[in-house]
Amino acid sequence: MKNLVNLAEKRILVTGASSGMGAETAVLCSQLGAKVVLVARREEKLQEVMVKLEGDGHRYFAFDLSHIDKIEAFIKSLISEVGPLDGFVHSAGISSTRPLKMIKPAHLREVMDINFNSFVEIVRCITKKNCFNLGMSIVGISSISSSQGNQAKTAYCASKAAMDAVVRCFAKELAQNNIRANTVCPAMINTDIYEKFKDNAGDSYDAEVLMYRQYLGLGEPADVANMIAFLLSDAARFITGSNIGVDGGILSS
């Protein structure tokens, strides 16, 4: 029997690995044979995820990605400890629900720093010589919000749209090093961010319409992790520069 998604012996870096889709992706990658390197702010949450990983050779590092200027030194140190990478999943991200008039520059910077700027900076650092193995796959967790406008979502949608655009550039510029880059664009997934959305939207008409259009229902983190694992694998060797919906039908309905 053929194993299509084989990540055996691949070393995969996952940011935002302490919860939600990041944690789910880390666990799945370990189940598929990868050695996983977890990064997030909360050390105790990282330790909880570590316990769930299968196999050995996994590591975790507590780090706050909002410290953009410290990422280079952090990645250098990380690579020196774990070795070159075969994959990178950027799951770190914060939600932002603010009407335009309430978006002060500091908030916009915060959202862009964590959701987008840290993604670019990590990619810049891990694509340097001796930091990656040939065939490395980069996956950013974007959102259907990258292609949909909505009230009170200026900062969040902009950060996800930026992720979608940047992987198109990464893909072309890094192809010569046999590096691929893609984003996955999840719709409403059963995570903390969805809980916050429900708190804000309540039983509003807009929320009802969104769930009607997402006719396969609420997604689970595993639905997104499955696609990410595929993109990390050699089975996806011909997919790069793409933004792939994992959306329960919402973008097509």
Partner 1 sequence: MTNEKKLELLADTFDCDVEDLSADKLLEELDNWDSMTKLSLIVLMDDECGKTLTSEEIKAFRTVGDVMAFME
Q: Give catalytic residues, as residue numbers.
A: 156
CB 234 within 8 A of CB 202: no
Distance between CA atoms of residues 71 and 62, nearest Å: 12
Closest distance of CB 228 from partner 1, Å: 31
Is the separation of the CB atoms in 117 and 71 below 8 Å?
no
Chosen residue from 42, 67, 104, 172 binding partner 1 by CB under 8 A? 104
Q: In this structure, are residues 36 and 58 in contact, taking their beta carbons and an 8 Å threshold? A: yes
Q: Which two tokens stand for residue 19?
A: 């919860």
Q: Nearest approach, Cβ of 250 to partner 1 (angstroms)?
A: 21
Where in 136-155 is the site for partner 1 (CB under 8 A)? Answer: 151-152
What is the C-alpha to C-alpha distance for residues 230 and 237, in angstroms, rounded to an integer?
10
Cα separation, 206 vs 98, whole angstroms: 16
Asked if 209 touches partner 1 (CB under 8 A), the answer is no
Which range touches partner 1 (CB under 8 A), out of 97-105, 115-123, 130-138, 223-231? 97-105
Q: Are the C-beta atoms of residues 187 and 248 closer than 8 Å to each other? A: yes
Cα-based distances in Å from 198 to 59, 78, 99, 177, 191: 34, 37, 17, 43, 11
Helix (H/G/I), strand (E/B), else coil: 145: helix
Q: Whole-number minimum distance, CB 203 to partner 1, in Å?
A: 10
Is 2 near partner 1 (CB under 8 A)? no
Nearer to partner 1, 3 or 200 (CB): 200
Contacts (CB under 8 A) with partner 1, residues 8-47: none
Is residue 98 involved in binding partner 1 (CB under 8 A)?
yes
* Spatial distance between the Cα atoms of 15 and 40, rounded to a whole number of angstroms: 6
Choosing from 4, 77, 81, 99, the residue that interacts with partner 1 (CB under 8 A) is 99
CB of 102 vs partner 1, minimal distance in Å:
4
Q: Which of 73, 102, 175, 216 binds partner 1 (CB under 8 A)?
A: 102
Question: Which residue, chain included where needed, has tokens 């995820």?
Answer: 49
Dihedrals φ, ψ of 106, to 5°? -65, -35
Which residues inside 210-249 make contact with partner 1, applying CB under 8 A? none
For the CB of residue 217, give the shortest distance to partner 1 in the complex, in Å: 24
Burial class (CB in 10 A: 0-12, 13-18, 19+), 253: exposed
- Binds partner 1 (CB under 8 A): choice among 204, 215, 216, 237: 204
How many chain residues bind partner 1 (CB under 8 A)? 12
Q: Which of 56, 101, 129, 252 binds partner 1 (CB under 8 A)?
A: 101
Which position among 97, 143, 191, 240 is part of the footprint of partner 1 (CB under 8 A)? Answer: 97
Kindly list the residues in this chain that would bind partner 1 in the complex (CB under 8 A). 97-99, 101-102, 104, 151-152, 199-200, 202, 204
